[in-house]
Amino acid sequence: MKSALVALLGVVWVALAATGCATTAPAGAAAGKPASGGATPAATETKPAEAAAPSAPADTADKAPAAEAAQSQVASSGTVTLKAVDEKTGQVVTLSLRPIHFDYDKYAIRQEDRSAITYDAGQLNRLPNLRVMIEGHCDERGTTEYNLALGQHRAVAVLHALAAEGVRNGRLQTVSFGKERPLDSGHTEAAWAKNRRSIVRDASSS
C-alpha cells in the first residue's frame, strides 16, 4: 500500500513538472514579430509618394490689355495722328488733326485755316473726355521771349476757335514753344511758313 502511494505521488510530480516547463511564446510573437535573436525578415521596399504636379499657370491670353495713355505722332506736314482709348467702348480711336498756320508776326486765325479748325473740332468731339494740349510755335526770327509770347497768343486763338466749334473748353490746355521746336530746320520762307503753326496733341505729349 505504501509503495502504491509513493508511485502515485511520483506520477503527480512528473505531471506537475511537465506543466511548469511548457514553452511560452515571447511577447509579440502572436503579432508576427520575430523572437529576440530570431531571423530578421527581408526589408520591404517602400515606393516614395509622387510629388504633386505643379498647377498650371492661369491663362491670361484672353485678358484685355491695360488701357494705354494717348499717343501722338507728328508728320513732316505737321498733321498730328493721335491714338486714344474711347472710355465708353474701350476701343482705340485714331484721330487725324491738321495744323493751323499763321502769317508772319500774327496770331489771328486765317480764313484759309477755318476749315482745318472745323475739321479738328469734329475729330476731337469723337473723344469728348480726352484732354488735349494746343501748342503755339513760331519761326526762328525774333527774340526767344517775344516768340514765346507770340506762340502763346497763337495757341489761345486756336483754343477759342475750337471752343466756338463745340469743343468743351475745360479739356483744352495751351503751351508755347516759341521758336524752340521748328518743324522744318531750314532758313527759307517756305520753312518759316511751316514753323508758324499751332497743333493739337494729347496733353501728355507736350
pLDDT in tens, 141-157: 999 999 999 999 999 99
Mean pLDDT across the stretch 58-86? 68
Average pLDDT, the chain: 78
How far is residue 154's CA from residue 138's CA, in Å, rounded to a whole number?
Answer: 9
pLDDT digits (tens, 9 = 90+) for 105-133: 999 999 999 999 999 999 999 999 899 99
Cα–Cα distance, 109 to 96 (Å, whole number): 20
How far is Cα 33 from Cα 26, in angstroms, rounded to an integer? 9
The residues spanned by each domain of the chain are: 71-202
Is residue 197 scored above 70 in pLDDT?
yes
Specify the residue for cell string 498756320: 101
Does the structure show a pLDDT above 80 at 162?
A: yes
Among 58, 61, 102, 95, residue whose Cα is nearest residue 79: 95
Per-residue model confidence as pLDDT tens digits over 89-110: 889 999 999 999 999 999 999 9
pTM: 0.66
Q: In this structure, are strands 197-202 and 100-101 parallel, antiparallel, or unpaired? A: antiparallel
Q: Which residue has the cell 471752343?
A: 163
Secondary-structure class of domain 71-202 per CATH: alpha beta
Residue 144 near residue 179 (C-beta atoms within 8 A): yes
Whether the predicted pLDDT of 137 surpasses 50: yes
Nearest to 139 by CA among 85, 190, 193: 193
Question: What are the backbone dihedrals phi and psi of residue 158, each rounded to the nearest 5 degrees, phi first?
Answer: -70, -40
pLDDT at 147: 98
Name the pLDDT band for 11 (thresholds 50, 70, 90). low
Task: Give dist(CA 66, CA 62) in Å, integer.
Answer: 12
Asked whether residue 173 carries a pLDDT value surpassing 90, the answer given is: yes
pLDDT digits (tens, 9 = 90+) for 22-71: 444 444 434 444 344 444 444 444 444 554 544 444 443 333 344 455 78
Q: What is the pLDDT of residue 59?
A: 40
User: Which residue's C-alpha cell is 507728328?
Assistant: 74
With 90 as the cut, is the pLDDT of residue 6 above it?
no
What pLDDT score does 185 carry? 94
